[in-house]
Chains A and B, each alone.
Chain A
Amino acid sequence: MTELDEIDRKLLRALAQDATQSAGALGRRFGLSQPATWRRIRRLEEAGVIKGRRLRLNAEALGFGVTVFLGVKLARKGRVSLEDFERAVSAIPEVQTVEHVLGLYDYRLRVVARDLADFERVLRRRIMTLPGAGEVEANVLLSEERLPGPIG
């Protein structure tokens, strides 16, 4: 586990908002030299605290008007291998995230579609036909906000 100091937390918070900021600019903001800032960012990356970068795209402007979260229960547990289901569901381009969960459902999927008709097509043709897929619950995303989390 990586311990962070105050400056690490500030850097992490700044990079989670905008990862394109240069080490020089961040250093000036937090009172560090450019090389010192660069070393700290490097350390956060090497420790796996910064797992990577994500491009923030405007889904709606790209024609993806609907995001739906699906709770999926596997039908015949034990008889279908989880790997088969996981491999098949991860290969669907419209499925953005696949989470294995414990509780009311077995998997939680984030699905994008052009509109509700397009979503219905994905659901019927691609998701309901997956090996082992059972009961499905759909919730249409209305709003979403990501928060900085417990880093000061």
Chain B
Amino acid sequence: MLDDIDRRILRHYQADPSLSATELAERCRITSGVCWRRIEKMQAAGIIQGQEAVIDWAALGFAVEVSLRVTLDKTQPRAFDDFIGAARKVPEVIEIQTFLGRVDVRLSVIARDMAHYQQLYRDRILTLPHIADIEALMHIARLKRDEVLPV
């Protein structure tokens, strides 16, 4: 299991993943050797899975982001598989989540502007299979988005 040093490393590392091992060790007040070994151990254990670049779609001209909450027609045995399989083929869908609750599936869809969104919604989203109901939430602002785990 993790001890306080591991947790301290994860806290600082999550806050700034671009830190070098030396800088990270400094912030954690441990030697860089210890820091390296701990990180390697957590990578081997599958706790640290990797690092990804976060893309700002707005900077690429995708100004609109919509969260579509979909209820599926569950009388269709393949509703989930068919729907998700088809949604993956829409390039503007950047996230697919499935839920236990009132909502079955949620899609994050990006578009250049409202006209583009409307066209996507009509031609690519409403044509996805087995939709029983669909609700849209339009993103206005992201106030916290670090997705940091409170270790």
Contact = CB atoms under 8 A, between A and B. Distances in A.
B53 A50 contact: yes
Contacts of B73: none
A147 B59 contact: no
A59 B50 CA distance: 13
Given A99-B139, A146-B94, A48 B56 contact: yes
A77 to B, nearest CB: 14
Contact of B135 (A19, A98, A104, A149): A104
Interface residues of B, number: 57
Interface in A43-62: 47-59, 61-62
A102 interface: yes
A54 to B, nearest CB: 5
A100 B13 contact: no
Interface in B82-133: 88, 91-103, 106, 110
Given A55-B14, A112-B150, A145 B95 contact: yes
Contacts of A22: none
Interface residues of A, number: 61
Contacts of A90: 143-144
A48 B142 CA distance: 16
A12 interface: yes
Contacts of B14: 55, 57
Contacts of A4: 60
A127 to B, nearest CB: 14
A52 to B, nearest CB: 5
Contact of B55 (A12, A93, A96): A12
B51 A108 contact: no
B52 A1 contact: no
A140 B100 contact: yes
A21 B108 CA distance: 27
A97 interface: yes
A138 interface: yes
Which are the 6 A-B pairs with shortest beta-carbon distances? A139-B101, A93-B150, A15-B53, A103-B137, A139-B99, A101-B137
Interface of B: 2, 10, 13-14, 17-18, 45-57, 59-62, 67, 88, 91-103, 106, 110, 135-151
